[in-house]
Structure 1
Amino acid sequence: MAPTPQPLTAERILEATEEVLRRHGPAKATVVDVARALGVSHGSVYRHFRTKAALREAVTKRWLDRTSESLSGIVAGDGNGDGGRDPETRLRDWFSALFAAKRRKAGDDPELFATYMVLTEENGDAVGEHIADLVGQLRRIVQAGVDAGAFAADDPETTARALFHASRRFHDPRYAPEWEQPGTEDDFRAVMDLLLRGLRA
Structure 2
Amino acid sequence: MAPTSEILTAERILEATEEVLRRHGPAKATVVDVARALGVSHGSVYRHFRTKAALREAVTKRWLDRTSLTLAGIAAGDRDPEARLREWLSALFEAKRHKAGDDPELFATYSVLAEENGTAVGEHIADLAAQLTRIIAAGTGSGAFSVPDPAAAARAVFHATGRFHDPCYAREWTAPGIQEEFTAVVDLLVRGLRP
Instruction: Provide TM-score, normalisation by structure 2.
Output: 0.97
Aligned to 1:107: 101
Residue 199 (structure 1) aligned with residue 193 (structure 2) = yes
Q: Provide structure 1 residue ranges, at least 5 long, that are not aligned to the other structure.
A: 78-82
Q: Provide structure 2 residue ranges, at least 5 long, that are not aligned to the other structure.
A: none
Residue 13 (structure 1) aligned with residue 13 (structure 2) = yes
Q: Residues 45-64 of structure 1 correspond to what in structure 2 (within 5 A)?
A: 45-64=45-64
What CA RMSD, in Å, does the superposition of the two structures yield over aligned residues? Answer: 0.7
Percent identity for Structure 1 against Structure 2: 77
CA distance in structure 2 between the partners assigned to 1:122 and 1:75 by the alignment: 29
CA distance in structure 2 between the partners assigned to 1:164 and 1:180 by the alignment: 20
Residue 146 (structure 1) aligned with residue 144 (structure 2) = no
CA distance in structure 1 between the partners assigned to 2:150 and 2:191 by the alignment: 16
Q: Give the counterpart letter for 2:93 in structure 1.
A: F
CA distance in structure 1 between the partners assigned to 2:39 and 2:70 by the alignment: 32
Q: Residues 150-161 of structure 1 correspond to what in structure 2 (within 5 A)?
A: 150-161=144-155
Q: Matched residue of 1:27: which SS? A: helix
Aligned to 1:128: 122
Residue 75 (structure 1) aligned with residue 75 (structure 2) = yes
**1:100-127 deviations in whole A, cap 9, x for unaligned?**
0000000000000000010000000000
CA distance in structure 1 between the partners assigned to 2:85 and 2:131 by the alignment: 10
Aligned to 2:27: 27
Query: Which of 148, 172, 175 pairs up with 1:178?
Result: 172
**1:21-63 deviations in whole A, cap 9, x for unaligned?**
0000000000000000000000000000000000000000000
Aligned to 1:80: none
Note the C-alpha offset of 1:171: 0.3
CA distance in structure 1 between the partners assigned to 2:73 and 2:59 by the alignment: 23
Note the C-alpha offset of 1:183: 0.4
Q: Give the counterpart letter for 2:181 in structure 1.
A: D
CA distance in structure 1 between the partners assigned to 2:127 and 2:168 by the alignment: 19
What is the aligned length?
A: 192
Instruction: Provide TM-score, normalisation by structure 1.
Output: 0.95
Q: Matched residue of 2:26: which SS? A: coil
**1:141-168 deviations in whole A, cap 9, x for unaligned?**
0000000011011001100000000000
